[in-house]
Amino acid sequence: MAERNEKMLCELMKLPGNSVCADCGSRNPEYASYNIGIFICARCSGVHRQMGVHISKVKHLKLDRWEDSQVERMREVGNVRAKMKFEERVPPCYRIPKEDDPQVLVEQWIRAKYQRGEFCYPERQLYVSGDFSGFLMKRGKEDSRFRSRKFVLSESDDTLKYYIVENREPKAVLRVSELNVIFAPQKMSLYPNSLQISYLKDGTTRHIYVYHSEGEVITNWYMAIRCAKLHRLQVAYPSASESELVQFLTEDFAKEGWLWKTGPKVSDGFKKRWFALDNRKLMYHDEPMDANPKGEIFIGHMADGYCMNMGVSTGVRDQGFSFKLTTPDRIYNLSAQSEIDRDHWIEVLERVIERPLTAQDIAVSARLVRKRTNTNSISIFSPR
């Protein structure tokens, strides 16, 4: 009997949709929620267990004993049918997680689907109106301490403001259409529900770091910002399709990490800097959570003289895993911590250099240009 059920589950797994996790899309799921009727991966099964058996009942596909009725339920539902029901009304601004995405995003996606029923009852989507407000813990620029700050998002004003004292002047006004927001659980390891918001202020980038004790709140903020951005893009580009515009809402940093970098002179020694590649902006900082980069390099297109090479310029001492970034203004001699890391940096930067500039890229480079002393090209500004 047990053997027959195991065989049947194996057969069911071959059906369309069942060979990947119903929640994150990772391959070869090893678990199932047998009351919901879906095949899921080990990571997602953990979230299902946390929600409690009144919502989801989890079993291992091979190591647990299956009853006939449970296998029957898996046959009745399956991943495709469950998706039609639980993801019926996912708003276009919503970022559906993939397998490597931060835990908070995966967890809240699963809870939104099965616990809160957000995609069956759209009125439960608190982040789609374009306005959003509440308190977040924000890291101080000077002393690194986190303090509670009121944040207010307004789609009609295109602003995200935060206040030190409520009802007074805001401490900062960020333009929603120009900011980027990413989940930052690795950088802010004590705070899994955290975001890094980056925006342009006076021609340079400013980062702010926030967290909330509730994963649902931080995810709602993330989706609310995406939603406000999407609505504004829809007004600005009425002929563009929604799926096209959704690509421009938020973008995870393509890569972050320590590199060694020389100064502009050949005699300058290598200094350790925290690099982050945000779309076409390569920023370097003293520390990973600095409020401002020490410098930023706009990465243009190969046709404009940008390229990547192994090794260093003549006269510069090779650090072992060195490579250089050539821009029209300057050659940056850099060095990674390992061969794999160096090759990965070269690969991600080459990908950017090969990509044609979009209208948004040109707008960003124009904003950065203001601080530039050199007049003819879009490369460095404010190197400190």
Q: Which residues bind Zn ion (CB under 5 A)?
A: 21, 23-24, 26, 41, 44
Cα 105 off chain centre by:
10
Please say which residue, 23 or 329, places its beta carbon nearer to Zn ion. Answer: 23
Minimum CB separation from Zn ion for residue 14, in Å?
A: 18
Minimum CB separation from Zn ion for residue 50, in Å?
A: 14
Please say which residue, 45 or 250, places its beta carbon nearer to Zn ion. Answer: 45
Token pair in block for residue 152: 């207010």
d(CA 295, CA 183): 23
Alpha-helical segments (H) within the chain: 2-13, 42-51, 68-76, 78-86, 103-110, 215-236, 242-246, 339-354, 359-369
Minimum CB separation from Zn ion for residue 106, in Å?
A: 7
Of 349, 352, 345, 307, the closest CA to residue 328 belongs to: 307
Please say which residue, 46 or 257, places its beta carbon nearer to Zn ion. Answer: 46
Minimum CB separation from Zn ion for residue 281, in Å?
A: 32
Minimum CB separation from Zn ion for residue 203, in Å?
A: 42
Please say which residue, 26 or 154, places its beta carbon nearer to Zn ion. Answer: 26
| C-beta of residue 261 within 8 angstroms of C-beta of residue 270 | yes
Please say which residue, 41 or 181, places its beta carbon nearer to Zn ion. Answer: 41
Which residue is it, tokens 């919503």? 94
Of 40, 44, 36, 82, the closest CA to residue 61 belongs to: 40
| C-beta of residue 262 within 8 angstroms of C-beta of residue 269 | yes
Q: What are phi and psi of 91, to 5 degrees?
A: -70, 150
Minimum CB separation from Zn ion for residue 31, in Å?
A: 9
Please say which residue, 21 or 179, places its beta carbon nearer to Zn ion. Answer: 21
Q: What dihedral angle (degrees, nearest 10) is formed by the CA atoms of 139, 140, 144, 148?
A: -50
Please say which residue, 95 or 324, places its beta carbon nearer to Zn ion. Answer: 95
d(CA 108, CA 127): 13
261's enclosing H/E stretch is strand 255-261
Token pair in block for residue 301: 């297109």
Minimum CB separation from Zn ion for residue 26, in Å?
A: 5
247: burial class by Cβ within 10 Å (0-12, 13-18, 19+)? exposed
Please say which residue, 24 or 378, places its beta carbon nearer to Zn ion. Answer: 24
Of 118, 97, 81, the closest CA to residue 43 belongs to: 97
Please say which residue, 21 or 299, places its beta carbon nearer to Zn ion. Answer: 21
Minimum CB separation from Zn ion for residue 358, in Å?
A: 32
CB atoms within 10 A of CB 269: 11
Minimum CB separation from Zn ion for residue 40, in Å?
A: 5
